[in-house]
Amino acid sequence: MKTIYRGLLFLGFSTGYFYLRNYLSEREKSEQLERDRLNEIIQRKIAEEEAMRAQNAFLMAQINPHFFFNTLDYFYHSLLKIAPELADAVSSLAGMMRFAINADKIGGLIRLGDEVEQVENLIYLHQVRQQLHIRLDVAQAAEDLFFIPLIVLTLTENIFKHGNLTKEHQQAHIRIAIDQQFLVIETHNLVNTMVASVKSNTGLLNMQKRLATAYPNNFHFEHGSIDGVYFNVKIRVALSSLNDIGKFSYP
């Protein structure tokens, strides 16, 4: 009798434990599903807010350039008769900004000669303010190549930002050439010791990532300081990797 009682008791405990374990397991699954559902709702809400912010940013991006260029156009015509040199500077700025905005929108490739024109505009804008010594050499054959945009313009901007261009016999140099089967873009400048150096080189790192994405295994990128006096950048891209996919010629 005791044996039967113990057996029934054990069976009761076992059954109870089984149902308890199943109950806890099902409850955990139910709670996990509820957590997943709530997380999905939260993520959807975040995505909707991000989409709304992106839409607002897109609308602002459409409005701001329009206002910006209209303002520059007003300045240009207002200054044309009384200060023609300043009017030319405004025109150069407008052209350069329009190029940068359009290049960012289209992605793809840009005719290298079109970007060189904007580099000349950038140099002109700085030369208007003060006498600076910088030389730009571009091989004619390189101008009709299509290349990812804003590389040369960014390198030129870095020269003005971090370089010392006041020494006539130590002028900065930008060179774009074709060397055998490579497009070569080089910059060389005296370091401006009065400007705090940015060791992270974020701009150059981003440039390297863009080159790696556009020309994987077909480019060489090096940059560095020479005894803390000069700074050099050299980019070599195989001509065979340059193509017309997504090309855009600036009007």
Query: Which CATH superfamily groups domain 109-248?
Result: Histidine kinase-like ATPase, C-terminal domain (3.30.565.10)
User: Structural domain boundaries of the chain?
Assistant: 1-79, 109-248
Q: What percent of the chain has pLDDT over 70?
A: 70
Mean pLDDT, rounded, for 121-127:
87
CA 115 to chain centre: 16
Greater confidence (42 vs 118) lies with: 118
Nearest CA to 248 out of 102, 138, 120, 95 is that of 102
Lowest mean pLDDT, pick from 124-128, 172-176, 188-192: 124-128
pLDDT (tens digit, 9 = 90+) per residue, 92-112?
777 777 777 776 665 578 899
Half-sphere exposure of residue 225: CA atoms within 13 angstroms, side-chain side = 13
How far apart are the C-alpha atoms of 240 and 236, rounded to whole Å? 12
How far apart are the C-alpha atoms of 46 and 77, rounded to whole Å? 46
pLDDT (tens digit, 9 = 90+) per residue, 185-243?
999 999 988 765 555 577 888 889 999 988 999 999 999 988 888 999 999 999 999 86
Indicate whether 157 pLDDT > 70. Answer: yes
- Concatenating the DSSP letter of every residue in the chain gives -HHHHHHHHHHHHHHHHHHHHHHHHHHHHHHHHHHHHHHHHHHHHHHHHHHHHHHHHHHHHHHHHHHHHHHHHHHHHHHTTT-HHHHHHHHHHHHHHHHHHHHHHH-SEEEHHHHHHHHHHHHHHHHHHS---EEEEE-HHHHT-EE-TTHHHHHHHHHHHHB----GGG-EEEEEEEETTEEEEEEEEEB-TTS---TT-HHHHHHHHHHHHHSTTSEEEEEEEETTTEEEEEEEEEGGG---TTEE---
Q: What does each C-alpha distance from 38 to 26, 30, 45, 50 come to in angstroms?
A: 18, 12, 10, 18
Largest CA distance in the chain: 119
Lowest mean pLDDT, pick from 46-50, 81-85, 144-148, 232-236: 46-50
